[in-house]
Structure 1
Amino acid sequence: MRRGTHTGIAATAALAMVALLPGTVGVASADDVPAYEMAPGATPITGKPGTDEAPRLEPGLHTDHIERNEKKFYEVKLDAKSSTYFSVVAAPRPGTKVEQYKDRLTVKVQDASGNTCSAERSQSFHAGGTAYPIGDYASRDIGGAGTQCKAAGLYYVVVTREGSPTSGPAAWPIELGYAQEPPVKGTVPTAPGTDGSRTTTPAPRDDTDKRPVRGGTGFNDAGRVDTGVWRDRIMPGETRFYRVPVTWGQRLNLTADLPNAAKPGTTRFVADALGLNVFNPARGVVISDNFVMYEGQGAQAKEFTAPVDYGNRFGITESAKAMRFPGWYYLEVTLNAEARSYFPKGADLTLRVDVKGAAKAGPTYAGPAPRFTDTDPDGGMAPDSQEAESGTLRVVAYGGIGTGVALLTGLGAWTLVARRKAAGAAAVPGASGAAGRLPYEAQQPTQPRPPQQGGGGQQFGPPQG
């Protein structure tokens, strides 16, 4: 029996059992929303409250946690040639109580004398009380005017969490990244004449063919997309990540769509219902407060970035300055938990991605820079075959949220039928004895996508494959 047939039978059986259950069948809750997946090769580290005991950060990814109103220090040893980017992602568990604007994460880099090397970067929540991953980077830049923080030596990364006394008291897991950018050969490019911030946003793509994709829980398992229209599912209170390759001269025209509400009679207004945020290859924010309201008639969150240009780092607007190098750009889509009144079983999500502009030659780095040059190592952008084939089971999972008993019962019924078929087949000469085996995808319909990032704490880049 082919895999697609197995999947169809399992889905039909599970849906039939779900339909028999009374009450709030299929209603999503915070327990149904997957948490942020840390990089499997990340190195655990524990930041300290002062510089005297600060642990040493090395290039790569690290994991820690931070309490409410806590400040943590990490030591780094820098050369006098490379620009460095220190990212931090805070990932409170879904359902954690957060206060909009009041719960905040800040990161900065300072020298041994306590002087801040560049402007500190601070991010807060913009979806009411919905918790979702927030983050940004602080940098030590080589190039440009001034001499501060250009010398080799010891520096400190400082991470601070500010919190409201009425928000959840639990510690937040954090993921710290340390990425290096070597200098460029020859003349350093200057800021472009225009950063594109005043350019009229073009219409979104309107392809009729919607390709399936499965968004990840964070940067480490982000779903791969390219130019086109993509479809996924998202639960209230959930955040999904996607990644797209962008090179010198190109820019992103993005739209995330929610459909009209399928539940008639609901008139509740949900402010900041759908968010579409963008991060650069070093996990720096391009845009982080791009949320739109929803009141049942569909919604679109849009973003049109500046073109990728090395000289953007010397520009004025922060969103354009973040478009400073090529590589994987990350899209973060969040559905406010209050949207449950419209989408109790989850919502269809349409992602319209348009990589605009012709690729052009950029500056040449004087050393290895895989994070900022190797955007498509395996030459293909189609979703993995497992992702494409998992669509039916994903519908079952969303349709039966909170009804695991029904799903297991449905799958159990299918297994019983399959075993009986296997027993019958065994009595027939030449019949395969494997007819009763449940395929791996059906055995584990909610199994998360396997981590794609290579092991080892030094790995800091997009998922491979």
Structure 2
Amino acid sequence: MSRRPCRVLVGAVIGAVLLLPLLSGTPPTRADGINKLMLVMDSSGSMKESLPGGSSKISAARSALNTVISGLPGTQQVGLRVYGAKVFDKADKGACTDSQRVVDLDTDNRSELRTAVGRYRPYGETPTGYALAQAGKDLGTDGQRTIVLVSDGESTCAPDPCKVAGSLAQKGFKLRIEVVGLGVSGKARNTLRCVARAAHGHYYDADDASDLTRALDTVATRSARPYKPSGRPIVGGTSAPQATPLAVGDWVDRLGGVDQERGELFYTVRRSIPGSTFHISAALINKTDDYDGLTVELSSGGERCGSDGQALNGGSGPIVSVAFAAPGPLGWNEECRGADYFTVEISRGVNHSGDGLAATVPVEIRVTEEAPAGNDSELPDALPRVAHQQIGLDHPVKIAGGSSFAEATGLSAGSYRGSIVPGELQLFSIPVGWGQHLDSRLRIPELTGRLADEMDDGGPELNLRLFSPSRAPAELLEQSSPSSTLEADGTEIDSVSAPVVYRGRTSNEERIAAASEAGRYYLAVSLAADDGKSYQVPYALGVAVDGTVRGKPIGSVHRTPTSPNGTPTPGTPTPVPSASPVAPSGQAASPQPAAAENSSAGLLARTVAIMVGTLGVIAVTGGLIMIIRRSR
């Protein structure tokens, strides 16, 4: 095997990690310490061994790193540390502290990186634990920090790498260690897997140059993409009389556990447009294997108007979201329908139940206000539900999915390809007009080799969920198959929304009510965690927007959230690949605009998006969803 595949491999990998922050429209700066990356490379004597195909491990790594360096943006902080490079034998002094930061964490350090890579040689012992401890010091304590460890053997020195990783993780939850094991097995493999688990990361096997390329690509891409709640900070009241005024916008609060301090938060919203409709939602991310839940209740003048809730097992997908319109269904009483203000109560759990929901978590709150339609009486109450279509998956375009609502990658109708790892969430946004509905299909091909072996005891849950512009769950359950266990012989799931109908907001069917706004709908793709296992699964994603635009309300204009601190506004996608997906008509679909018209960052991000194509969209649905119907 030539060196070129490995060069492409690592180049795509690490380059993707380093450039991906630009997809949010806000380049990282040294001041905020966002997404700092330290590469930790094994330089022990065994790295001179050959890979299948003839090239040595060290030459493959060196060629790949050189390719990466050429594409680094000047704003990205990255450093390089090696270990086992200077002291030959364990009996020699300093063998177990043989690790050097050969390139300091900095920006615009291309020349230094190239020089260091050229000097990268296999030589000595394997003091992995010491090297990790030093890498943690290199990264400091601020911002999102990632260590990417590449090793081909068992640690030969104290301290225990797994214990070091656990200690680093305890010192800062924004630090994670991603690990690639190159041709390892037995105790060495177990130790490296332990390192990844202990520090919130993933472990990847690489048995040859191609595996190494794919693994590093996965590591680099995922490392820059933790879920980031978006919105302006707000502190809700702890009782109705202490309710905090809530304006149109995106907000983030801290919600306590069930029946604990700040487990119930209160806000007020007041109309600024006569006869308007509020769209209100609350969402949290469930990172556990247990149930978590939310309840949102509206009242006015002491009169209870309505409530909704959702509880979701973390293994079935991380997004727990509750949303509805106010006024809501036809069953609302007139006092609520004509009220000028509402009290909004957001509480943890459903019906105040939720054993073990003790941890305080961020909760994202979205409020929009919509003027009434001037032609309300002429609009349809409903449109026929169209059967799920068989979406073609030919000629897919590589994609990089977003890791949160705010960073959802904008897509057009077409076919795409990416990859997903256990425990990952990927989000996309797609424009859907009045009278149209969103159709989606996700397919995992037949798995082979080691990947198929991982499914011997049953694979994790694969999910594809839809959310409305207001983040209400929007897939029609009776017409969708949004969840399935990952199978070695291939897996396919699909989700379809109801047609977007303005008057659907008065429906007692919550998935019909969810599809009452035109705008950007979200696709969430997710793969549940798999008992600490880490592997990369390829997928194909098909997206279609079906139906003729009709039933458009006249004069119904949203007051939508503004962009706090650089966060994209609702309906504004992050950049998509510059390659044009194919629209259903056969015409090339134009990429969606960048979140910010920030010239150089937007252009660079679109270019980088092609390189980071191994990412996809993880959508969370399925299995153990319990929807508590809207009470009236």
Query: Structure 2 length as normaliser, TM-score?
Result: 0.53
Between the aligned partners of 1:325 and 1:307, the Cα distance in structure 2 is 10
Between the aligned partners of 2:277 and 2:254, the Cα distance in structure 1 is 26
How far off its partner does 1:259 sit? 2.8
Q: Which residue of 2 aligns with 1:420?
A: none
Q: Which residue of 1 aligns with 2:485?
A: 293
Between the aligned partners of 1:191 and 1:361, the Cα distance in structure 2 is 7
Q: Which residue of 1 aligns with 2:608?
A: 389
Q: Is the 8 A contact 1:109 1:138 kept in 2?
A: no
SS at match of 2:242: coil
Q: Is the 8 A contact 1:213 1:232 kept in 2?
A: yes
Higher helix share: 2
Q: 1:239 aligns with which of 400, 414, 425?
A: 425
Q: Which residue of 1 aligns with 2:496?
A: 304
SS at match of 1:185: coil
1:334 aligns with 2:334: no
Between the aligned partners of 1:61 and 1:182, the Cα distance in structure 2 is 19
SS at match of 2:388: coil
Q: Is the 8 A contact 2:400 2:613 kept in 1?
A: no
Q: Which residue of 2 aligns with 1:59?
A: 248
Q: Is the 8 A contact 1:285 1:319 kept in 2?
A: yes
- Alpha-carbon spacing, 1:183–1:144, altered in 2? closer, same or farther (3 Å): farther
Q: Which residue of 1 aligns with 2:271?
A: 78
Between the aligned partners of 2:340 and 2:400, the Cα distance in structure 1 is 43
- Alpha-carbon spacing, 1:315–1:76, altered in 2? closer, same or farther (3 Å): closer
How far off its partner does 1:370 sit? 6.4
Between the aligned partners of 1:121 and 1:19, the Cα distance in structure 2 is 50
SS at match of 1:287: coil
How far off its partner does 1:218 sit? 1.5
Per-residue deviation, residues 34-74 of structure 1 (Å, max 9, x unmatched): 432222xx221112221121211111011111111011111
Q: Which residue of 2 aligns with 1:353?
A: 543
Q: Which residue of 2 aligns with 1:91?
A: 285
SS at match of 1:321: helix
1:44 aligns with 2:233: yes
Q: 2:512 aligns with which of 308, 314, 320?
A: 320
- Alpha-carbon spacing, 1:98–1:221, altered in 2? closer, same or farther (3 Å): same
Matches within 5 A, 1:337-416: 337-338=529-530, 341=533, 344-360=534-550, 362-367=552-557, 380-381=590-591, 386-387=605-606, 389-390=608-609, 392=611
Q: Which residue of 2 aligns with 1:254?
A: 440
Between the aligned partners of 1:151 and 1:159, the Cα distance in structure 2 is 22
Q: Which residue of 2 aligns with 1:181?
A: 370
Higher radius of gyration, 1 or 2: 2
Between the aligned partners of 1:383 and 1:215, the Cα distance in structure 2 is 15
Per-residue deviation, residues 143-167 of structure 1 (Å, max 9, x unmatched): 9574131334332111111264345
1:225 aligns with 2:411: yes
Which shows bigger deviation, 141-150 or 248-257? 141-150
Q: Which residue of 2 aligns with 1:279?
A: 467
Q: Is the 8 A contact 2:328 2:505 kept in 1?
A: no
Unaligned runs of 5+ in 2: 1-5, 13-59, 66-148, 153-181, 203-221, 562-569, 576-588, 595-602, 617-632
Q: Is the 8 A contact 2:399 2:613 kept in 1?
A: no
Q: What is the letter of the counterpart of residue 117 of structure 1?
A: C
Q: What is the letter of the counterpart of residue 349 of structure 1?
A: Y
Matches within 5 A, 1:438-449: none
Q: What is the letter of the counterpart of residue 542 of structure 2?
A: R
- Alpha-carbon spacing, 1:261–1:148, altered in 2? closer, same or farther (3 Å): farther
Q: Is the 8 A contact 2:368 2:558 kept in 1?
A: no
- Alpha-carbon spacing, 1:193–1:223, altered in 2? closer, same or farther (3 Å): closer
Q: Which residue of 1 aligns with 2:127?
A: none
- Alpha-carbon spacing, 1:9–1:315, altered in 2? closer, same or farther (3 Å): closer
Matches within 5 A, 1:136-155: 136-141=322-327, 144=330, 146-155=333-342
Matches within 5 A, 1:155-170: 155-162=342-349, 164-166=354-356, 169-170=358-359
Query: Structure 1 length as normaliser, TM-score?
Result: 0.70
SS at match of 2:246: coil
Matches within 5 A, 1:170-209: 170-189=359-378, 191-192=380-381, 194-196=383-385, 199-203=386-390, 205-209=391-395
- Alpha-carbon spacing, 1:339–1:354, altered in 2? closer, same or farther (3 Å): farther
- Alpha-carbon spacing, 1:135–1:267, altered in 2? closer, same or farther (3 Å): same
SS at match of 1:286: coil
- Alpha-carbon spacing, 1:250–1:297, altered in 2? closer, same or farther (3 Å): same
How far off its partner does 1:381 sit? 2.4
Between the aligned partners of 1:329 and 1:31, the Cα distance in structure 2 is 30
Q: Is the 8 A contact 2:434 2:550 kept in 1?
A: yes
Which shows bigger deviation, 228-237 or 332-341? 332-341
Per-residue deviation, residues 374-405 of structure 1 (Å, max 9, x unmatched): 9689994259763553555676x99xxxxxxx
- Alpha-carbon spacing, 1:337–1:9, altered in 2? closer, same or farther (3 Å): closer
Between the aligned partners of 2:425 and 2:346, the Cα distance in structure 1 is 23
SS at match of 1:313: helix
SS at match of 1:148: helix
Q: Is the 8 A contact 1:61 1:176 kept in 2?
A: yes
Per-residue deviation, residues 74-122 of structure 1 (Å, max 9, x unmatched): 1222354210011111124xxx43424xx21111211131x3323x221
Q: What is the letter of the counterpart of residue 331 of structure 1?
A: L
CA root-mean-square deviation: 3.5
Q: What is the letter of the counterpart of residue 527 of structure 2?
A: L
Q: What is the letter of the counterpart of residue 381 of structure 1?
A: P
Between the aligned partners of 1:104 and 1:143, the Cα distance in structure 2 is 23
